[in-house]
């Protein structure tokens, strides 16, 4: 390999920089930073299973969005056969009125910023 | 084969590009719709249309323009005073501006400078739909020209293409929100907020949707319901027994800029 | 090859730093526009396209004009253009880049611009404009890269590049035709609704682009050892002359059609540009200046004595460029919106942040052209 004495330190510096957030958090972080969302639900069951909602809610919401706005559907048949209106504000947030804990807790932890709340209106909290 | 620096950058750059694009394409492809149903009480039609009876529509004469207020309240349309940044779904224009090239110097007294209600014409042949580069606006099967505010990139080509000035762009943030997306109690442009309907974000185009969301609940458009004079009628043009077919059969009607071939679906009874 | 852009004297770096300052200012203003919305520009409900889209339109023309050196050189084997062909191609690359940036800064939701590719809409001319502009950028990057690296190794370029070059010729015409179609297919805007818009765009492009190229060649001759020679400059000057004459002819045809038919919706926009309507006349001095400068420049170009004198030619080229920039980069877009389809007259003038963002993009373009020309001239050891 040419320029070994330049390339190898270069790779090491790169790796240190890239993994810096991990080291930093291990050394100075508050230890366990995992989010603790509070699942408040008015109904007993969600439209799909808890596991599915935990990992796929964003896909479901995207599909609801297209189904309502673009394809003229309004209702969704849930896993156990019930019909619900496909609406973020009028269905999801009616059942889970605590957006700050239900949604934001994890989103902030994951540093994702969904643009839902640029337009849709969450219920007033306290 | 030796890989020089140039080749390495080329391959790395191209594969990044393919990777980035591939993910987006796959997410779009993975959609199904088997669990979706239409609403039960929904009002349906083959060709929604509206008539505006200019003899009954009497703004300023005891009329408080309830239709405009009802529409703008229902849809959280911001009341922006700066005319350059104005957003409006329904408003009035003097007869001569609403119907240019039909402005006879001597005309029926009532028509001269008459304030005429104007909205999106939900054209049968809509130029805005033709030009939209993302299909963020399109014509539904029932004739309504719809908007998808999630998809609009804000290029404003549709505004350039609309011959009726029916489309508004959100030049400024229409609704004030806190850092975490909560709508604030003090709104600069919204007198009251209808929390069942979204607001818009800055940078997208909006317009009248013939109250698509109300039709899905079995309700007439907000403006039609609000008009006390009964000047507005809404119905299915393809239904020979509909109220608006009877009105059109009975009365002389005009449309805005018919020569452009856009086939407006708002008929003005004179 | 790219590393050549990173080696240069003090003046080279000072110039790059100067440009970077403008880019930084423009970027800062763009961040402001992103967080506050396009309301910080001078655009309005009635005039929904302004300075950004006008610059885009003008620069598409500059990009397309590269064909005026590529075509004679490759199709007619006009050897005199051999030295400047690469300059034309690099000018095209930086112009198309600026075009794309001007489109991006004009979008209300730039983060979603990928939607044009995710939901391709062949009925929209904007979709096709995206296709042809990116295609043209790609073609020019490939062609200039392959021909220049062949030149560096003193070998003839590979054979497969010939068809690519031939393809780039009609492609150049297409970018400006499609850009004209964005405007001239709209029944709502009678000012643009004219079949001659695309030919007129091409004529003004083939005048403004080569005029800029002449000026660039003259500057390069001053500050480097590069010398294109007298012949190619004079050939370019003739191209500018014919194109400028054709452009003026097309404009007069538009004026005749509008005013002899005397249809109000066609004449009113010309009235707004040249005399003003209802007391609104912000563009009137600009338009008269543009026409007068354009005519003077054309006279200087038509007269062989003044055309051959390179210092007068430089003045004429500046005149052509300024005249057409005002016409296309300022008035053409705005006049389509004034008056509005409802007869409202809302005037438009760009705001300071809007101008600084535009200046930032022009600085990016100049940075590109500086570094690309640096590469080309270093490869040829003419610096």
DSSP β-bridge partners for residue B50: B234, B266
Q: Best mutation site among C342, C347, C349, C350 for testing chain B: the one with the most B CBs within 10 Å?
A: C342
pLDDT digits (tens, 9 = 90+) for B172-202: 999 999 888 888 888 999 988 998 999 999 9
Q: What domains are defined for chain C?
A: 1-188+348-383 (1.20.1630), 220-340 (no CATH)
d(CA B152, nearest CA chain C) in Å = 7
Please state the rounded mean pLDDT for residues B88-112.
88
pLDDT digits (tens, 9 = 90+) for B32-85: 547 888 887 788 889 999 999 999 988 666 788 899 999 999 999 999 999 999
Q: How many helices (H) and strands (E) does chain B have?
A: 8, 11
pLDDT digits (tens, 9 = 90+) for C264-312: 999 999 999 999 998 999 999 999 999 999 999 999 999 999 999 999 9
Please state the rounded mean pLDDT for residues C23-39.
96
Residue-level pLDDT at C379: 87
The distance of Cα C8 from the centroid of its chain, to the nearest Å, equals 28
Q: Do A71 and B33 touch (CB under 8 A)?
A: yes
Please state the rounded mean pLDDT for residues A6-11.
93
Domain borders along chain B are: 61-229
Task: State which residue of chain A sits closest to B38, comparing Cα positions.
Answer: A73
pLDDT digits (tens, 9 = 90+) for A78-93: 888 888 999 999 899 9
In this complex, which chains have at least 3 CB pairs below 8 Å with chain B?
A, C
Measured between beta carbons, the chain A residues lying within 8 angstroms of B39 are 74-75, 85
pLDDT digits (tens, 9 = 90+) for C130-166: 999 999 999 999 999 999 989 888 899 999 999 999 9
* Cβ-proximal residues to A54 (8 Å cutoff; 6+ apart), any chain: none
Q: Which comes out higher in pLDDT, residue B133 or A125?
A: B133
Kindly report the length of chain C. Answer: 383
pLDDT digits (tens, 9 = 90+) for B206-242: 999 999 999 999 999 999 999 988 999 999 999 999 9
* Cβ-proximal residues to C24 (8 Å cutoff; 6+ apart), any chain: C360
Q: Residue B23: which pLDDT band, with cuts at 50, 70 and 90?
A: low
Residue-level pLDDT at B116: 93
Q: Does residue B31 surpass a pLDDT of 50?
A: no
Helices C10-36 and C352-379 sit at what angle, rounded to 10 degrees?
A: 150
Residue B216 sits at the chain A interface (C-beta within 8 Å): yes
* Cβ-proximal residues to C220 (8 Å cutoff; 6+ apart), any chain: C87, C226, C228, C373, C377
Measured between beta carbons, the chain A residues lying within 8 angstroms of B209 are none
The whole-angstrom separation of Cα B53 and Cα B250 is 12
Measured between beta carbons, the chain B residues lying within 8 angstroms of C343 are 96-97, 100
- The helix/strand/coil state of C357 is helix
Measured between beta carbons, the chain B residues lying within 8 angstroms of A70 are 138, 146, 148
* Cβ-proximal residues to B254 (8 Å cutoff; 6+ apart), any chain: B99, B102, B267, B268, B270
pLDDT digits (tens, 9 = 90+) for C95-140: 999 999 999 999 999 999 999 999 999 999 999 999 999 999 999 9
Q: Which DSSP symbol is given to C112?
A: G
Residue B32 sits at the chain A interface (C-beta within 8 Å): yes
Q: Per the structure block, which two tokens stand in for A10?
A: 């270069």
Q: Do B157 and C116 touch (CB under 8 A)?
A: no
Please state the rounded mean pLDDT for residues B121-135.
97
Largest CA distance in chain A: 67
Q: Do A121 and B38 touch (CB under 8 A)?
A: no
Q: Do B36 and A119 touch (CB under 8 A)?
A: no
Residue C38 sits at the chain B interface (C-beta within 8 Å): yes
Measured between beta carbons, the chain C residues lying within 8 angstroms of B131 are 123-126, 185-186
Residue-level pLDDT at C48: 96
Q: What is the arrangement of strands in the sheet containing B232-236, beginning at the earlier edge strand?
A: B232-236, B48-53, B266-269, B253-254
Q: Which DSSP symbol is given to A75?
A: E
Q: Where are the beta strands (DSSP E) in chain B?
A: 36-37, 48-53, 91-94, 115-118, 137-139, 145-147, 168-169, 205-206, 232-236, 253-254, 266-269
The distance of Cα A10 from the centroid of its chain, to the nearest Å, equals 36
Q: Do B36 and A76 touch (CB under 8 A)?
A: yes
The answer for B 235-264 residues in CB contact with A (under 8 A) is none
Measured between beta carbons, the chain A residues lying within 8 angstroms of B140 are 72
Measured between beta carbons, the chain C residues lying within 8 angstroms of B101 are 265
Q: Does residue C2 surpass a pLDDT of 80?
A: no
Q: Which comes out higher in pLDDT, residue C2 or C329?
A: C329
d(CA B91, nearest CA chain A) in Å = 23
CA angle B214, B199, B24 (to 5 degrees): 100
């Amino acid at each position: 390999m040419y320029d070994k004495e330049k390339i190898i330190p270069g790779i090491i510096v790169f790796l240190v920089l890239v993994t810096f957030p991990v080291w930093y958090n291990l050394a100075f972080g508050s230890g366990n930073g995992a989010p603790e969302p509070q699942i408040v639900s008015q109904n007993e069951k969600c439209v799909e299973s808890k596991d599915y909602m935990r990992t796929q809610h964003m896909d479901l919401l995207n599909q609801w969005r297209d189904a309502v706005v673009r394809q003229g559907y309004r209702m969704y048949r849930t896993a156990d056969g019930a019909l619900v209106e496909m609406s973020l504000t009028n269905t999801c947030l009616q059942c889970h009125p605590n957006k700050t804990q239900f949604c934001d807790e994890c989103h902030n932890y994951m540093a994702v910023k969904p643009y839902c709340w640029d337009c849709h209106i969450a219920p007033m909290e306290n | 084969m030796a890989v020089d620096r140039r080749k390495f950058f080329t391959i790395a750059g191209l594969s990044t590009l393919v990777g980035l694009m591939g993910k987006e394409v796959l997410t779009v492809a993975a959609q199904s719709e088997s669990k979706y149903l239409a609403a039960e009480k929904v009002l349906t039609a083959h060709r929604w249309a509206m008539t505006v009876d200019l003899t009954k529509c009497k703004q300023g004469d005891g009329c408080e323009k309830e239709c405009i207020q009802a529409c703008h309240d229902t849809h959280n349309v911001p009341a922006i005073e700066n005319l350059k940044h104005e957003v409006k779904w329904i408003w009035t224009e003097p007869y001569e501006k609403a119907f240019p090239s039909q402005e006879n110097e001597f005309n029926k007294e009532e028509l001269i400078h008459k304030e005429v209600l104007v909205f999106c014409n939900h054209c049968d042949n809509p130029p805005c739909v033709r030009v939209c580069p993302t299909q963020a606006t399109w014509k539904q099967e029932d004739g309504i020209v719809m908007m998808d505010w999630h998809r609009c990139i804000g290029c404003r080509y549709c505004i350039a293409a609309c011959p009726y000035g029916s489309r508004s762009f959100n030049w400024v943030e229409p609704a004030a929100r806190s850092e975490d997306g909560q709508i604030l109690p003090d709104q600069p442009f919204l007198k009251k907020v209808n929390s069942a309907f979204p607001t818009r974000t800055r940078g997208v185009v909006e317009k009248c949707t013939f109250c698509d969301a109300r039709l899905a609940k079995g309700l007439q458009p907000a403006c039609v319901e609000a008009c006390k004079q009964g000047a507005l009628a809404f119905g299915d043009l393809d239904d020979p027994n509909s109220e608006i077919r009877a009105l059109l059969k009975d009365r002389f009607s005009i449309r805005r800029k018919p020569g452009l071939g856009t086939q407006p679906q708002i008929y003005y009874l004179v | 090859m790219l590393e050549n852009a990173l080696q240069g004297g003090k003046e080279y770096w000072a110039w790059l730093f100067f440009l970077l300052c403008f880019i930084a200012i423009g970027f800062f203003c763009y961040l402001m526009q992103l967080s506050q919305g396009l309301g910080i520009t001078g655009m309005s409900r009635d005039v929904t396209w302004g300075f950004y889209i006008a610059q885009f339109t003008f620069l598409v023309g500059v990009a397309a004009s590269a064909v005026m050196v590529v075509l004679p050189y490759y199709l007619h084997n006009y050897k005199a253009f051999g030295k400047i062909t690469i300059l034309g191609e690099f000018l095209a690359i930086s112009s198309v880049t600026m075009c794309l940036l001007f489109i991006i800064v004009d979008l209300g939701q730039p983060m979603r611009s990928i939607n044009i590719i995710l939901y391709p809409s062949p009925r929209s001319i904007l979709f096709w404009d995206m296709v042809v502009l990116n295609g043209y950028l790609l073609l020019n990057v490939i062609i200039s890269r392959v021909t220049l690296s062949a030149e560096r190794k003193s070998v003839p370029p590979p054979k497969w590049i010939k068809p690519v070059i031939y393809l780039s010729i009609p492609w150049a015409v297409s970018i400006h035709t499609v850009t004209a179609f964005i405007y001239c297919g709209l029944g709502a805007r009678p000012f643009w609704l004219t079949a001659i818009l695309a030919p007129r765009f091409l004529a003004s492009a083939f005048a403004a682009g080569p005029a800029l190229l002449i000026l660039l060649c003259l500057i390069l001759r001053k500050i480097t050892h590069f010398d294109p020679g007298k012949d190619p400059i004079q050939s370019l000057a003739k191209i500018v002359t014919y194109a400028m004459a054709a452009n003026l002819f097309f404009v007069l045809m538009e004026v005749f059609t509008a005013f002899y038919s005397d249809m109000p919706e066609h004449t009113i926009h010309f009235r707004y540009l040249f005399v003003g309507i209802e007391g609104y006349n912000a563009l009137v001095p600009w338009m008269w200046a543009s026409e007068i400068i354009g005519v003077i420049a054309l006279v200087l170009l038509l007269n062989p004595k003044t055309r051959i004198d390179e210092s007068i030619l430089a003045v004429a080229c500046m005149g052509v460029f300024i005249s057409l920039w005002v016409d296309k980069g300022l008035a053409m877009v705005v006049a389509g919106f004034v008056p509005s389809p409802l007869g409202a007259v809302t005037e438009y003038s760009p705001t300071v942040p809007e101008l600084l963002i535009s200046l930032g993009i022009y600085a990016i373009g100049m940075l590109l052209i500086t570094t690309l020309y640096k590469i080309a001239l270093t490869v040829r050891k003419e610096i």
